[in-house]
Amino acid sequence: MCRNIRVLHNFEPAATDEEIRAAALQYVRKVSGATKPSRANAEAFERAVEEVAAATTRLLDQLVTSAPPKNREEEARRNRERQLKRFPATAAVSAASTAAV
């Protein structure tokens, strides 16, 4: 599950609220062991996602670096190349499905 959490710091443009929430959701899913909580746990699950997202936003707002911001498209291209080298068959299927979208 957590392999979908990506670095959000030091990108231009900055991470969106949706990206931060998606990372928070993945984190809560991993920690809770549930991809979809039961009705009894839904409120606690959603509250945890919102709290993790808020903490992540505060963290990203407070981090400082002297490194220049990374380019999103360039980093995505590099990640695709790395995936292709590590998992040739899987990366090819993923690339094909991404191109279709």
Tens-place pLDDT, residues 54-67: 999 999 999 999 99
Contact 26, 2 (CB under 8 A): yes
Tens-place pLDDT, residues 5-56: 788 999 988 999 999 999 999 999 999 999 999 999 999 999 999 999 999 9
Nearest-5° Cα angle at 13, 98 to 69: 105
CA gyration radius for the chain?
16
Tens-place pLDDT, residues 78-101: 888 988 888 887 655 555 665 655
